[in-house]
Amino acid sequence: TQLLEQSPQFLSIQEGENLTVYCNSSSVFSSLQWYRQEPGEGPVLLVTVVTGGEVKKLKRLTFQFGDARKDSSLHITAAQPGDTGLYLCAGVGAGNMLTFGGGTRLMVKP
Amino acid sequence: NAGVMQNPRHLVRRRGQEARLRCSPMKGHSHVYWYRQLPEEGLKFMVYLQKENIIDESGMPKERFSAEFPKEGPSILRIQQVVRGDSAAYFCASSLLAGGGPYTDTQYFGPGTRLTVL
């Protein structure tokens, strides 16, 4: 069974601070995705990383895929209250099945 | 281009009743996935369907749960004789392809159905 562990589970920071969320697995995935979920809504895809060592940037968000394609990180620079939400990583495995991590609930205080 | 649609958004059932959750995939998508999310947890895969076929149901409980995706109409997730432990948010996702690569295989999620069992 493939498992993804996310850390931290909860993060409360002040506006303007930086943060990093980690997603680790003992399994190799063909690609890894990061989602953001608002209360009462479904997850919305932020990025897909495919190649080991790949780094992708989306405005103030930087996503990195580990060289061995088993782990990933999400770094947010100068966090804003609008970044508040649940961040989920998901590994794409055989049959296009997604294995989700437990999520990181981020709160950014103004 | 409408996204994935799910209805109802909220469903309340008493123990022992049946729950039917509907999912209409994005236009042109023929691959549908169902996931369950318990409070404060990530999503857990339940079942993957293509039109008229169940491809992978390894995440779905063997009893009381069933899913279908008919040739015409939405995909249905059916839970018979609901129990309190079935209370959760159920999400449907659809993709254009599966096995075509990381971008054509991308799953787009609906807003979910929140099931409460009294």
Chain A residues within 8 A of B45 when measuring between CB atoms: 97-99
Burial class (CB in 10 A: 0-12, 13-18, 19+), B28: exposed
- Contact list, A54 vs chain B (CB under 8 Å): none
B34 in contact with chain A, both atoms CB, cutoff 8 A: no
**Predicted confidence (pLDDT) per residue in A66-83, tens digit:** 998 889 999 999 999 999
Query: In terms of Cα–Cα distance, which of B5, B1, B21, B12 is closest to B118?
Result: B12
Read off the pLDDT of residues B54-83 as tens digits, 9 standing for 90 and up. Answer: 999 999 999 999 999 999 999 999 999 999
Residue B106: which of A48, A97, A100 has the nearest Cβ? A48
Q: Are B41 and A103 in contact (CB < 8 Å)?
A: yes
- C-alpha B87/C-alpha A72 separation (Å) is 31
How far lies A51's CA from each of A57, A69, A87, B7, in Å?
Answer: 14, 7, 21, 37
Q: Do A103 and B102 touch (CB under 8 A)?
A: no
Mean pLDDT of chain B: 92
What pLDDT is stored for residue A80 in this prediction?
96
